[in-house]
Amino acid sequence: MPVGDGNDPRLLRLLDLAADDSIVVGCACGSTVEYRKGLLQRRHRIPSTTLVSDLQYRLRCSHCRRTEGLEISVCGPVPGSVSVPRRRTVIVPREG
C-alpha cells in the first residue's frame, strides 16, 4: 500500500513502506530523526506489522525525552525528479 494512493494513511504498516521511504519523527523541541526502512525494526525491535500511527506510543524524543506530541510522517522521493522536495504524508500530527 504506497503512501498517497487514497487509502487511509493511519493503516500503513512498517512493512508497507517502499525501499526509499523513511519515517520522520519531529518533536516540539525542534529535534527531528529520520528512520530508513528497517531501522526501527532493528534498532528498537519493533515488529514489521506495527502500524506507523502506533509509533507515537513506542518512541520518545532522543533530545528532550518527551513521549507526547511527536509528529510522525512518511517521506519519500518524488518519482523522476531530484530537484523537487520529497513528498511527505503526516500520519500523526503534532499536538499542542
Q: What is the pTM of this model?
A: 0.81
Q: How many CB atoms lie within 10 A of CB 3?
A: 20
Spatial separation of the C-alpha atoms in residues 69 and 12, rounded to whole Å: 20
Residue-wise DSSP of 32-56: EEEEETTHHHHHS---TT-BGGGGG
- Inter-CA distances, 91 with 16, 26, 81, 82, 83, Å: 14, 12, 24, 24, 24
**Domain parsing of the chain, residue ranges:** 9-92
Strands 71-76 and 22-26: what pairing? Answer: antiparallel
pLDDT grade for 13, boundaries at 50, 70 and 90: very high
pLDDT, average across residues 55-66: 92
pLDDT for 32: 93
* Arithmetic mean of pLDDT, 3-28: 83
Q: Facing residues of 25 across strands?
A: 33, 72
Q: How confident is the model at residue 47 (pLDDT cuts 50, 70, 90)?
A: very high
Q: What pLDDT score does 1 carry?
A: 41
Cell of 85: 522536495
Q: What percent of the chain has pLDDT over 90?
A: 55
